[in-house]
Structure 1
Amino acid sequence: MRGTPSFTTALLSVAVVLILLSFILPWQWAHWSMAQQLPYPWLMIAVPFALLSLLSCGWLYIRYRRQQHAFQQHVQSLLHAPEEIMPDSTELLAQDVLALFQRLQAQQTELQQKLEEARLQSQRDSLTTLGNRFAFRHQLSELLASDNRLATTTLMLIRASALQDINSRHGFQAGDQYLQDISRLIRKVIQSRMGAQAYRISGSDIAVLVPGQCEPLAHTMGNELRQELFHYQDVHELDCVAYIGFTQLLPGQSPESILIRADSALAQAQSGEPNSWRMVLKNSDDEDMGESQWRQRLQSMLDNDRILLVVQPARLLKPALPGYNEIFTHFPNESGGVYPASTVFAMLQRLGMSMLFEQKIIEMILDQVAKCDLSGQRWAINLTPASLQQGAFIIWLERVLMRHQHITANLVFELDEHVLEHQLGNGKRLLEMIRRSGARSAISRFGHGYGSFRLLKDIKPDYVKLDPELVRQLKDDNANQQFVRMIIDLAQRLGCHVVAEGVETEEQKQILETMYVDGVQGYLVSKPLPLAEFKGLVSSV
């Protein structure tokens, strides 16, 4: 090919030979002329030969430059459009350029694949293979910034509440396996829902973004996941596996506002029975507070005893029975109202302050009950689910009850049926300690199904508090009446007293009296009253 390095070398070689000949030949001719005694004959040869050599060199140089320029343009055309080179080209340079181009293209493809893998890896949690918090925040921000106002998305937040306990008791490897199992259960629940994505956003929290309205999704997904968690709890003998919170993404709101609302729903779930779910669809002023603000206000309540105790007495239909008075807690706020009790207990659970408040409430109850000049009365104290999960609390409670024997005999500790059903082992230990100390026990919100009878047989409490929902349906539901009658009959055969909660009408009271219930409690009897002002239940309804 013209313009190649081999051709250039040949041109330079010819130029060098011509230059050498322009000197050698005239020199040889000069020697011959002198031998023949010719006057300056060599000038006649040397001058024209030198001029010819110079002209030849100039022509060769110009040709060399032109062909070098043409070669450079040809190389640039090959480099600028290597994809246009025919694979069957016989030109060696074209083949070399094509091979180099193909090699670089393969390296570029491989590098792009590695970069994409690195990008996906940077947005994936290494333990659960779910998305991580960076991917979640990016997706959440995109959804909230969307111009499509018709698109709705639900946020489900799951907290693996047993992680810390498993890590401390069985090691971090067991904790990792527990998180992987939770992730597997979540994938199982969301796999049939188009567009659902799960992310691990902290050590124990997993978030799921699901297209659709919150309320129907919360009921279907919440109950479905809850059943999976209960099964896992039974297999692995845990007190609780996880809690679930739901909220709706509202366009125009900040991600922080959405997360606070979801966290509030999750916190409310933690204040209920194990593996429960809650839904919060809008922010209230109290829910908008961050954790640090809640901690300050709760600590202020604790330090200044800003906890109001109220009592709602039950009317016992058998005169020989001691009076039964259930004590509740209200939490006053700065505006003159009260914080929702469910929100307060949820925040206490989240901030790890449940035990402190439970101790404070019990101490205040013991102090005020000691001041009440009411003989023949029993005082019912509600225990939260957190009390079953704190061994230190049970030890503390036993010591307190033993120190206040004169009051302990008049105390009744209530535990929700749902809580006992799923924490039966811990519940039995707590109730045994209560009986050993001389106090009494009650199962509240009793009667959710035929499993209640088995629980009644295992626990044998002193009191059974019928679920208000059963009382509400008494009038128009004959099957419900038969079910309530069975509960009352079996409980009394086992030596338990039955109190019906939520009695609001005279008709409900009359039906319950025909079933020989031991007592009724509700707005028909009395509204909650401040404990410090309570002087006993009046004789008439």
Structure 2
Amino acid sequence: MGLSKSFQLVLFVIFGLLLYRIYDLENKEMQLQGSLAIQNYSQHLNQMTEWNEDGEALYKELSKTFTFKFFQYIHSNDSELNYTFGSLAKSDDEFEDKIFKIELSDTKSFPDGRLQVRLSTQSVISTSFVNLEKAATLTIFAYLIIMISFAVLMAIHRRGIKYACDYIEQVPNLSFQAVETSRLRGSLKPIGLALEKSRMELKTSIDNFHKENNLLAKAANQDPVTGFSTRRRFNEHIKKISQSDKQQFGVLAIIKAAELSSINQLQGREAGDEYLSQIAACIRRAAAKFGINEYYRVSSSDFALFIQDITVKEAEKFLILLKGYLDEYAQTIEPDSIAHSGMVPFESNSDTHALLTLADTAVSIAQTSGPNRYHILEKFSGNEQLGDDHWKVTINELINRKGLKFFQQPILPCNNHVDVYRELYARFFNTEGSNLPTASVIAMSERHGLNVDLDKMIVVHTLQLLNANPSLTGNFGVNISASSALQEVFVSWLRDILSSHRTTSARLIFEVNESGMQKNVTASRRFVHEMHKVGAKVAIQQFGLGFSSFKFFREVKPDVIKLDSSYSEGIDQDNNNKFFVRMIVDISRRIGIKVIATGVERQDEKLTLEKMLVDGLQGYYIARPEIIAKTDK
């Protein structure tokens, strides 16, 4: 038993005995007062002579002086002189009677009768009970004061001990914060001085050890192909950040080599090693301006690097430079997709597993965006942290529950002869009604093979929306994944369901990502052909990112191409983009394909694109997406 509990027990026993002693004294005093009351009654009764042996007269006379709980006079010969008041049975209605047990009874015999009485104990008990109540109140109050004071002192003492224990527990984690000696006063002061001395000596020894160990480990943990540090070094570094006492922030970038397995299979390991070496060179060139001195190869095809003390907005310059170098390298080899990048911010208290999961999700999103693209996830929304298994369960549940809603964004026609449409954006939400990140849902559905089911849900919901809301007039664009569009099973299903909704299907334009459609030109051509059979149209999104774009759209011949937003950005000042857009518009007009410019966010961009004779404009400057709330049943 600890000191605190022992002290409390002893204190409780002492005050308990004290309270019992007070009760015993008051009880004895009450018994004495009770005896005096009986004596007084007996003397008074003996002095009475003129009551004519009438019980009622005797009661009335005695009642002037005494209070009875029970009074009974029984005459030996004449029952009319008998008199009874009250009850002989005990009554403990009063709390005082339960505390103090006393009985004031007396029986007296007369020549012609017998008298039995029980006096009221209230007058005898009340004084003792009041005294006991006062004494008990003072005793309990004193006990509480002592206990509270002791508890406060013990809490202060425990807080100091806990601080010392917590500090000692952090020593194995190499935490060397200064000891707060103000929290270790009095008898704990020597502990504080000892901890501070140990801290200084241990920190000096470990710093020297780390310097020597880093030199040896850097030479031992180096990838021979790229010259980057290995996964082990990466794990040590990220652990050091997560457990650091110093406030740190920055970004973590993950770069995934997209074509390593393909090059290894088709051209051999040497070509694969050259491919990785070139990507490593691109990473070094892009990071040269950011003071980075260590890079990591965390798996066969994944690279990583940390940029310290920088915001996400500033670090995006690295991704832009890297994409430029990767695009340059792509022109020298057959695949135009070299690597994809993901970036996430970190702080010194970031959870390691959650950070890597978020970075992996960012790379997955980048892979669905086009060749050599990057993606940034700036913060946790709650779902990225829980890993692939959670995403699989979440998406399955989302599909079964049909947890989506639509936003719409109109496209502005540049002339009256062009029939444009409104694009529908699917927004997903979980069981709590919180929005899920759309790009993450789509990326994870493709990773787990759920994209077909997800696209089916979107198509069915779109048909229900348009059929149930006659006020939604005109044409609507529906986004579906390229991987679904290239699957014959999905295309057959889509053709069959649209055949039963001919009127509605004629109002639909299916928007598919260009980079995904380029993977299989034959399947892409079949998809466009089947959609035309049922009256629907096809639009190719993010057009112009791939190096085979012209060949692709000549063979597939979609109804609409939507230029990637990068061509609209600053086009009023970018002559290269102007040349590309003019060429696309000229070719498209000859083969009957409409051209839509996306990402229009400034008036100068709008005016420039209109002069270049694009068929439609889409972007925040034209109209922001808005939820279909007023008409969506």
TM-score bucket (shorter structure): 0.5 to 0.7
Closer/same/farther in 2, CA of residues 495 and 335 from structure 1, 3 Å limit:
same
Instruction: Judge conservation of contact 2:595–2:614 (CA < 8 Å) in 1.
Output: yes
Closer/same/farther in 2, CA of residues 233 and 408 from structure 1, 3 Å limit:
farther
Give the letter for the 1:430 counterpart.
Answer: S
> Are positions 1:364 and 2:461 aligned together?
yes
Specify every segment of 5 or more residues in structure 1 that has no aligned partner in the other structure, as ranges.
Answer: 1-115, 536-541
Match of 2:370 in 1: 273
Provide the rounded CA distance (Å) in 1 between the counterparts of 2:584 and 2:260: 38
Match of 2:396 in 1: 299
> Are positions 1:138 and 2:232 aligned together?
no
Match of 1:346 in 2: 443
Closer/same/farther in 2, CA of residues 162 and 217 from structure 1, 3 Å limit:
farther
Provide the rounded CA distance (Å) in 1 between the counterparts of 2:355 and 2:631: 42
What SS is found at the alignment partner of 1:197? coil
Q: Map of 1:190-229 to 2, 5 A cutoff?
A: 190-191=283-284, 193=288, 196-202=293-299, 204-209=301-306, 213=310, 215=312, 218-219=315-316, 221-227=318-324, 229=326
Match of 1:331 in 2: 428
Q: Map of 1:73-88 to 2, 5 A cutoff?
A: none
What CA deviation, in whole Å up to 9, does each residue of 1:385-444 have, x standing for no partner?
Answer: 5457xx5x2542245325633365543232345x37xx6453564145313541433233
Match of 2:276 in 1: 183
Instruction: Judge conservation of contact 1:155–1:249 (CA < 8 Å) in 2.
Output: yes
Provide the rounded CA distance (Å) in 2 between the counterparts of 1:239 and 1:124: 29
Closer/same/farther in 2, CA of residues 272 and 499 from structure 1, 3 Å limit:
closer
Q: Percent identity?
A: 26
Q: Map of 1:434-445 to 2, 5 A cutoff?
A: 434-438=528-532, 439-445=536-542
Instruction: Judge conservation of contact 1:311–1:534 (CA < 8 Å) in 2.
Output: no
Stretch moving more, 187-196 or 272-281? 187-196
Give the letter for the 1:185 counterpart.
Answer: Q
What SS is found at the alignment partner of 1:288? helix
Stretch moving more, 482-491 or 494-503? 482-491
Give the letter for the 1:141 counterpart.
Answer: K
Match of 2:495 in 1: 401
Give the CA deviation at 1:522.
Answer: 5.4
What CA deviation, in whole Å up to 9, does each residue of 1:14-73 have, x standing for no partner?
Answer: xxxxxxxxxxxxxxxxxxxxxxxxxxxxxxxxxxxxxxxxxxxxxxxxxxxxxxxxxxxx
Closer/same/farther in 2, CA of residues 500 and 252 from structure 1, 3 Å limit:
closer
What CA deviation, in whole Å up to 9, does each residue of 1:151-180 have, x standing for no partner?
Answer: 76643212344567778xx49x95x66764
Match of 2:151 in 1: none
Give the letter for the 2:252 counterpart.
Answer: L
What SS is found at the alignment partner of 1:404? helix
Provide the rounded CA distance (Å) in 1 between the counterparts of 2:608 and 2:314: 38
Give the letter for the 1:414 counterpart.
Answer: E
Provide the rounded CA distance (Å) in 2 between the counterparts of 1:506 and 1:125: 50
Stretch moving more, 327-336 or 345-354? 345-354
Instruction: Judge conservation of contact 1:368–1:532 (CA < 8 Å) in 2.
Output: no
Residue 464 of structure 1 is aligned with which of 537, 561, 580? 561
Closer/same/farther in 2, CA of residues 510 and 235 from structure 1, 3 Å limit:
closer
Match of 2:527 in 1: 433
What CA deviation, in whole Å up to 9, does each residue of 1:339-379 have, x standing for no partner?
Answer: 23123223334444334323332343345445565899443
What SS is found at the alignment partner of 2:348? coil
Give the CA deviation at 1:330.
Answer: 0.7
TM-score relative to the length of structure 1 = 0.59
Provide the rounded CA distance (Å) in 1 between the counterparts of 2:579 and 2:257: 40
Give the CA deviation at 1:267.
Answer: 3.0
Give the letter for the 1:382 counterpart.
Answer: N
What SS is found at the alignment partner of 1:336? coil
Give the letter for the 1:533 counterpart.
Answer: T
What CA deviation, in whole Å up to 9, does each residue of 1:294-336 have, x standing for no partner?
Answer: 3322221011111223433445566665552322201023453
Give the letter for the 1:495 counterpart.
Answer: G
What SS is found at the alignment partner of 2:421? strand
Match of 1:103 in 2: none
Give the CA deviation at 1:141.
Answer: 1.7
Provide the rounded CA distance (Å) in 1 between the counterparts of 2:228 and 2:629: 51
Specify every segment of 5 or more residues in structure 2 that has no aligned partner in the other structure, as ranges.
Answer: 1-213
What SS is found at the alignment partner of 1:159? strand
Instruction: Judge conservation of contact 1:383–1:413 (CA < 8 Å) in 2.
Output: yes
Instruction: Judge conservation of contact 2:250–2:310 (CA < 8 Å) in 1.
Output: yes
Closer/same/farther in 2, CA of residues 448 and 267 from structure 1, 3 Å limit:
closer
Provide the rounded CA distance (Å) in 2 between the counterparts of 1:203 and 1:463: 40
Cα RMSD of the aligned pairs, angstroms, is 4.9
Give the letter for the 1:344 counterpart.
Answer: V
Closer/same/farther in 2, CA of residues 349 and 229 from structure 1, 3 Å limit:
farther
Give the letter for the 1:413 counterpart.
Answer: F
> Are positions 1:312 and 2:409 aligned together?
yes
What SS is found at the alignment partner of 2:428? strand
Q: Larger relative contact order (C-alpha < 8 A, sep ≥ 6)?
A: 1
Provide the rounded CA distance (Å) in 2 between the counterparts of 1:490 and 1:272: 25
Give the letter for the 2:541 counterpart.
Answer: S
Stretch moving more, 158-167 or 246-255? 158-167
Provide the rounded CA distance (Å) in 1 between the counterparts of 2:544 and 2:436: 29
Instruction: Judge conservation of contact 1:401–1:408 (CA < 8 Å) in 2.
Output: no
Closer/same/farther in 2, CA of residues 526 and 224 from structure 1, 3 Å limit:
closer
Provide the rounded CA distance (Å) in 2 between the counterparts of 1:223 and 1:128: 22
Residue 383 of structure 1 is aligned with which of 480, 484, 489? 480
Instruction: Judge conservation of contact 1:214–1:246 (CA < 8 Å) in 2.
Output: no
What SS is found at the alignment partner of 1:533? coil
Provide the rounded CA distance (Å) in 2 between the counterparts of 1:385 and 1:437: 14
What SS is found at the alignment partner of 2:422? strand
Provide the rounded CA distance (Å) in 2 between the counterparts of 1:478 and 1:275: 21
Give the CA deviation at 1:272.
Answer: 1.4
Q: Map of 1:30-45 to 2, 5 A cutoff?
A: none
Provide the rounded CA distance (Å) in 2 between the counterparts of 1:432 and 1:383: 16
Q: How many pairs does the alignment contain?
A: 409
